[in-house]
Amino acid sequence: MSNLFMSIRGRVLINVEALNMTESVGNYVKHRRVPVMIREKEDYTVYLVPAISGESIAHGYQEVLGQIGVAYNINVCNLCKQGIFLKSTNSQVYKGAFGRAPPSDAFELEKSIIEGCLVEDVGGFLYAEKLNVKRTSNFYSGYMIPVKEALGNTVIEPQLHSRYALGTPFVKREEREARGQMIYYVELSSSTYTFSFDLDTKYIGKTTFQYGKVGKLVVNDREARLNATLEALKKFLIELLFGAKKTRFLPVIEWESLVIGVSNDVWTVPSPSSVNYIEKAKKKLKHVNYETKLYIYKSDGSKKLEDSIEFTDSFEEAVVNAINDAKKRLKVIEG
């Protein structure tokens, strides 16, 4: 049976952001850094650059997925409803999520979690006690790192902030000098980042762990789950619902380009790290094609009509058109 696969790659300019912080050292809050290696002439160079983790992307998408699931009357466990993604780690977490003790059989355990929670069905889980059951996520998200040509121009800069409470009755006289004014530093960065996200619908609503029962359908609302998964992806992309610390560090965000591949089998868009990734995607399509269609947005407005390729005038249009294409294909697949 055919399978719907969506591959999303893009370049997004994010200015003055603190979307993915790591630890605090005293009054200093550090931005996440990762090493990135590239080839320059005959040598390789490693840059230490600001990044936004794939886990941050995954958390944002699953939070939207949980909300959409509740709105569509699809089962979502008690913890995932609240954005707490402990994901059936052990029997205690399972009880908190579903209000009952877990089954003692591996197949029945996976089946009960899939039935009981859309988020864990789509996003996977790892039950790690005497009985070990793992469900791999049906979507894949990558680190957002600066694009290749921006690596040498990316800067992380600490900014001074303070919280002031002097002159109020809430600061005791003996504490005024020490605690009346708290000074702290937050590292900020700006760059054009890569964005990568893939969605494979093949096993949504189906078991995957136990040999001999892989692909067994265990829900009666698979069509609704697939629809909710796509709706959540659309909202997540258009509203950029990922990253923490946005309440006071809401960044300036602009998509420079985007490619969404909608296919009936696994077909991934090439890495957006290289500036010519759109051309690479078009060349790949000529040699590998599973009823694949590309939806492309470029901020410079350049277009060229080609088979199986649709250029759009806006980022939002590319997302909406790709999601609509995916929904139409799922009706064919499920029929």
Identify whether the C-beta of residue 321 lies closer than 8 Å to the C-beta of residue 297. Answer: no
Q: Which residues of the chain have pLDDT under 70?
A: 1-2, 172-180, 304-305, 332-335
Distance, CA of 190 to CA of 244 (rounded, Å): 16
Give the residue among 318, 314, 319 at the shortest CA–CA distance from 301.
314
Residue 43: CB partners within 8 Å, gap ≥ 6?
Answer: none
Residue 9: its pLDDT value, please? 98
Neighbour count for residue 71 (Cβ, 10 Å)? 12
pTM (predicted TM-score): 0.93
Distance, CA of 99 to CA of 94 (rounded, Å): 8
Whole-angstrom Cα Rg for the chain = 23
Residue 28: its pLDDT value, please? 95
Residue 175: its pLDDT value, please? 53
Measured in residues, the chain has a length of 335
Burial 118-134, CB ≥16 within 10 A → b, else e: bbbbbbbbebeeeeebe
Residue 173: its pLDDT value, please? 62
- Three-state DSSP class for residue 133: strand
- Three-state DSSP class for residue 262: strand
Residue 322: its pLDDT value, please? 98
Whose tokens are 């409803």? That residue is: 81
Residue 180: its pLDDT value, please? 64
What does residue 85 show for φ and ψ, rounded to 5 degrees?
Answer: -100, 65
Residue 1: its pLDDT value, please? 40
Distance of CA 186 to the CA centre of its chain: 24
Identify whether the C-beta of residue 294 lies closer than 8 Å to the C-beta of residue 310. Answer: yes
Identify whether the C-beta of residue 110 lies closer than 8 Å to the C-beta of residue 213. Answer: no
Give the residue among 178, 176, 321 at the shortest CA–CA distance from 258.
321
What does residue 25 show for φ and ψ, rounded to 5 degrees?
Answer: -115, 100
Residue 179: its pLDDT value, please? 62
